[in-house]
Structure 1
């Protein structure tokens, strides 16, 4: 069964968020935890070619890019991460970050790009990016630093590996036969090719894998290959970072926690799965925050959320040139910014690369724990939109991390009787009383002295008969 994917940029941004084929949403009443992994379900990563013939229709033009963001001004997201300080500890040296996406275009600020394969076009190496999405993602991870430019990737010394496994501009060969010329292509990519791309990235030496695309629906038995591929990655000491998904494509709102049933299993309140995000034993699932640190309105909530990162109004690399970009036009000519959990995810992948370079002795699971343990936690400790909180590069590179993570549930409210304060001792007024008495005596003495200062006068009269 072929399962459609969504690329999780905001729909107006790139036109990449619509379903790539078969609709989802049918199945059981609620989502379930992923089943036990069946290692036999793991696909091969070779050959890196589409499993069937594909085509790019004549009317499928590559996305137009909105350039901008160049110059010395540091983008808001980058400034909030304090990367200049983080780079004193690590710049991601020696790390290879696989971008499983729409391809990554060759760009002067992505030196030594590893073209690792193409599951979309019969003849391709992963460096065609007609959608623009994959290049945006790669730039946020590892765009090199250059003088006079404020923008750079989170891990500017890391190297990008590109594997194209989905595109809105392609479709199965012959799909246009029953369409009118103005119809948009169906898009191409599914969970099977994603799983193969994960295995291929691991086998080719990636240390970090970024997946900024999702499948979402209520079915629970469609992603066994993904689970097997993700388990394989962790066993081979590779950290996988995946997007939480956007509400424009994953339209069902997961309740996760019901205030009327606060002790219920959060998975029982989850009606929609997001893959690969739901495999949270094997991935870091990433939500988005805005410039003020608040959860982005488009993040799909779920019990699998690990951390969050800036994901709105980003600056990245231009897939059509050598400069930077701030947005794109979709196939309908609508312009939008680079926003979505797609673009929060590479921020976390970049931080993972920084940590792996600074602490090469840490295993993939230890790196995942460090990223979550050092995040800026929300008041309740964990929540369904940002997980354990906003990723903090400085803390991830410098803090001491010990002990296990708390469970992925908000800290429950507690009722506690405050101690009744003891009755205060009676006031000691002796000093005041002595002062008042002394003052009264002095005042009385002064008054008597004042009165005594007046002469006592007698009036003597003369009687008439004494004359």
Structure 2
């Protein structure tokens, strides 16, 4: 069980794991045999989509961008937060950082050991606003919400989500008085804005009005240009007449009176929810092809009811699966949040009236993408400060590992802020930051550290190291649909020697014999003799007692 689990939480967790484990064994056995698990998508991934590098639709901003210290979907950042986040302490990141610095060629955390340059993590999210604690380590990676410079090519975070994700991965306050620090504080962040809840698709009427406004603006500019041209022509004529008059006056006066002042005044020119699985797939391809990243973090999900088929039901799902597979095959570690309950994300394994799919983990009620494609990525669930599964974390047989996802401290995403935050406003109510969205970047940061300390490993080998060294749950096969292979253990992931890496056979379940000796099928004669002897003894005892009783009776009669 993870460190910090309460006794009650541990007992409840063990009971849950023991109950669900028998249903998981078949799926794991199939996966170990090399076949695809029954819940996984059928068929081959296919080819990834092309990347146009721009939004697929026209979106319009409906909600103001996040701000500091005011209400209305905004952050609060008055006094600087100095506390160490519980998740950071739970994962022992201070010790992990000391280890990496001591064993790194360059003394940094999150760099390529061969080149000394920062490793690259693509944060495909709502954008990342530049923050002092990210220094100059944030690069504009692309924008699928706004075209051109309006969205600053990924460096505008109106929602305040991507900046906080990036902070968990790579923030570096460089201040001993501040407890918070990112998992890989020297890493390079590539920000690709792929989604936003503050934008939505423009209506046909809005597009028509904008086109009319653009035409009117072009016409006004044309008229202004013509007016300026006529004014310049008139001014030239005036200047020419003035020069002729001045020349004539000089001829009449017979002398030069000095430079004349131009009395004409020159007129200066006057300037009068977005994102889907398709653009997510395109953003993945962009991160791989254009930015050559080492790790991708996606804290965004889509949910739909399970139709009973393991095939993707839409072109978007097929494109997303192909993009994830494409990235992994090109040596990129892909990390995705497992998803939060609510709306279309109906919890798996929880009884609902009229729905019999409550116990079989291979028949989930809800399909969550991209976690559904966990053959090619790490799907991350969330735990709370007790070490138990967070109540909002989506369950599913595709969950790979888990990490802290409650009471989050990270960067204030408001433009111009240098503070940290631990709450967000929903209307007028401040709520603590939580979600599998913030558990995923802990795993993405760990993937960076593994890639630094084990540069010889491929992306799939990095994923295997993270799942193998996790703190496995109390299930019969060491895996369950709540936290997957378990809560990540960064120090073990960096230092543990895996059997397959040294050519040894991995451990496997073996039925051991009982400590009792085997049954003896010897002759039954000793037992017969013993029983006969016992019977004879009882008969002799009976005769003796009869004789004594007879003697006593005769004496009494005499």
Q: Shorter-chain TM-score: which interval?
A: 0.7 to 0.9
Matches within 5 A, 1:343-358: 343-358=438-453
Contact 1:378-1:389 within 8 A present in 2 as well: yes
Give a deviation string over 1:142-190, Cα, whole Å, max 9, x none: 001412211010111111110000000001112797xxxxxxxxx1110
Give a deviation string over 1:312-354, Cα, whole Å, max 9, x none: 0110001111111112113x33321110000000011111111
Distance (Å, rounded) in 2 between the aligned partners of 1:335 and 1:279: 35
Contact 1:68-1:326 within 8 A present in 2 as well: no
SS in 1 for 2:371: coil
Q: Does 1:51 align with 2:56?
A: yes
Distance (Å, rounded) in 1 between the aligned partners of 2:334 and 2:385: 25
Give a deviation string over 1:187-213, Cα, whole Å, max 9, x none: 111000000000001111110000001
Aligned to 1:214: 301
Q: Does 1:117 align with 2:142?
A: yes
Aligned mate of 1:128, from 133, 152, 156: 156
Alpha-carbon shift at residue 139 of structure 1 (Å):
0.2
Aligned to 1:463: none
Distance (Å, rounded) in 2 between the aligned partners of 1:101 and 1:175: 27
Q: Does 1:86 align with 2:181?
A: no
Aligned to 1:189: 275
SS in 1 for 2:75: strand
Distance (Å, rounded) in 1 between the aligned partners of 2:79 and 2:391: 24
SS in 1 for 2:192: strand
Distance (Å, rounded) in 2 between the aligned partners of 1:314 and 1:69: 16
Contact 1:96-1:161 within 8 A present in 2 as well: yes
Contact 1:89-1:358 within 8 A present in 2 as well: no
Alpha-carbon shift at residue 60 of structure 1 (Å):
4.4
Contact 2:65-2:159 within 8 A present in 1 as well: no
Of 106-115 and 350-359, more deviation after overlay is shown by 106-115
Give a deviation string over 1:109-148, Cα, whole Å, max 9, x none: 1122110110011232111111101001000000014122
Q: Does 1:368 align with 2:463?
A: yes
Distance (Å, rounded) in 1 between the aligned partners of 2:464 and 2:186: 23
Q: Label 1:39 to 1:72 Cα distance change in 2 as closer, same or farther (>3 A).
A: same
Give a deviation string over 1:276-335, Cα, whole Å, max 9, x none: 0010111100000011211101111000011000000110001111111112113x3332
List alignment gaps of at least 5 residues for structure 1.
1-30, 178-186, 405-410, 423-467
Give a deviation string over 1:48-85, Cα, whole Å, max 9, x none: 2101211113x545331122684543221111111111
Distance (Å, rounded) in 1 between the aligned partners of 2:514 and 2:375: 38
- Please provide the CA RMSD for this pair: 2.9
Contact 2:126-2:162 within 8 A present in 1 as well: yes
Aligned mate of 1:326, from 422, 435, 446: 422
List alignment gaps of at least 5 residues for structure 2.
1-37, 67-72, 101-108, 112-117, 207-272, 502-507, 520-558
Q: Does 1:174 align with 2:231?
A: no
Contact 1:230-1:240 within 8 A present in 2 as well: yes
Distance (Å, rounded) in 2 between the aligned partners of 1:354 and 1:375: 15
SS in 1 for 2:130: coil
Distance (Å, rounded) in 2 between the aligned partners of 1:249 and 1:104: 26
SS in 1 for 2:380: strand
Distance (Å, rounded) in 1 between the aligned partners of 2:44 and 2:419: 43
* TM-score, normalised by the number of residues in structure 2: 0.62
Q: Label 1:256 to 1:280 Cα distance change in 2 as closer, same or farther (>3 A).
A: farther
Aligned to 1:198: 284
Aligned mate of 1:77, from 79, 83, 87: 87
Distance (Å, rounded) in 1 between the aligned partners of 2:276 and 2:199: 12
Q: Does 1:402 align with 2:499?
A: yes
SS in 2 for 1:67: coil
Give a deviation string over 1:416-444, Cα, whole Å, max 9, x none: 9784999xxxxxxxxxxxxxxxxxxxxxx
SS in 1 for 2:284: helix
Distance (Å, rounded) in 2 between the aligned partners of 1:64 and 1:160: 23
Alpha-carbon shift at residue 366 of structure 1 (Å):
0.3
Q: Does 1:37 align with 2:66?
A: no
Aligned to 1:284: 378
Aligned to 2:244: none
Q: Does 1:139 align with 2:170?
A: no
Distance (Å, rounded) in 1 between the aligned partners of 2:364 and 2:144: 32
User: Larger radius of gyration, structure 1 or 2?
Assistant: 2
Aligned to 2:430: 335
